[in-house]
């Protein structure tokens, strides 16, 4: 009986820690990491900020930013961009790695990149023709979804 009670107390404690540690809060643009602020100023100058949100969890924080023009930006705890989703407009060309640009130009000429996501091992891009392309860390195409 003591073991069951101890297990229940441990599970309850873990649950409390997870609930308490995983919080979202609205923040000012000035509270974003400096690198995220510089990214927004460089690539989305003049776009009004709808909100910036910090997602705090046990390990680290991440940030979500929404601009008035519909752009959604996700940043790591250090302010590195992780996702740029421009909805109906093209992602700024300056943030797209050249091998991805070249592949799109050669295979999908005229299509715009509407969103790009950068992970540890890959990049995912969404095109204006609704195709989603996945590239490995060496920029080799590894998946195409329609």
C-alpha 70 chain-centroid distance = 15
Question: What pLDDT, on a 0 to 100 scale, did the predictor assign at position 61?
Answer: 92
Question: What pLDDT, on a 0 to 100 scale, did the predictor assign at position 59?
Answer: 82
As a whole number, mean pLDDT of residues 4-33 equals 67
Question: What pLDDT, on a 0 to 100 scale, did the predictor assign at position 19?
Answer: 46
Strand partners, 61: 56
Q: Is 24-145 assigned to CATH 3.40.718.10?
A: no
What's the rounded Cα separation, in Å, for the pair 97 and 91?
12
pLDDT classification of 144: cutoffs 50, 70, 90 = very high
What's the rounded Cα separation, in Å, for the pair 126 and 116?
6
pLDDT at 20 over 50: no
pLDDT at 4 over 60: yes
Collapsing DSSP states into helix, strand and coil, what is residue 100? helix
- What pLDDT digit, counting tens, does each position of 91-137 carry? 999 999 999 999 999 999 999 999 999 999 999 999 999 999 999 99
pLDDT at 7 over 90: no
Average pLDDT, the chain: 89
List of long-range contacts for 1-10, beta carbons under 8 Å, 24+ apart: none
Question: What pLDDT, on a 0 to 100 scale, did the predictor assign at position 57?
Answer: 83
- What pLDDT digit, counting tens, does each position of 37-61 carry? 999 999 999 999 999 999 998 788 9
Q: Where in the chain are the domains?
A: 24-145
Burial class of residue 71, CB neighbours in 10 A (0-12, 13-18, 19+): buried
């Amino acid at each position: 009986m003591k073991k069951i009670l101890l297990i229940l107390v441990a599970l309850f404690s873990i649950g409390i820690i997870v609930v308490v540690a995983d919080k979202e809060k609205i923040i000012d643009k000035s509270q974003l990491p400096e690198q995220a602020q510089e990214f927004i100023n460089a690539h989305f100058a003049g776009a009004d900020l709808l909100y910036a949100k910090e997602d705090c969890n046990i390990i680290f924080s991440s940030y979500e930013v929404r601009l008035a023009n519909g752009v959604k930006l996700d940043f790591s705890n250090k302010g590195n961009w992780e996702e740029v989703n421009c909805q109906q407009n093209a992602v700024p060309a300056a943030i797209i790695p050249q091998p991805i640009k070249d592949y799109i130009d050669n295979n999908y000429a005229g299509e715009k990149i509407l969103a790009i996501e950068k992970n540890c091992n890959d990049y995912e891009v969404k095109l204006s023709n609704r195709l989603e392309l996945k590239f490995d860390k060496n920029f080799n195409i590894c998946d195409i979804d329609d």
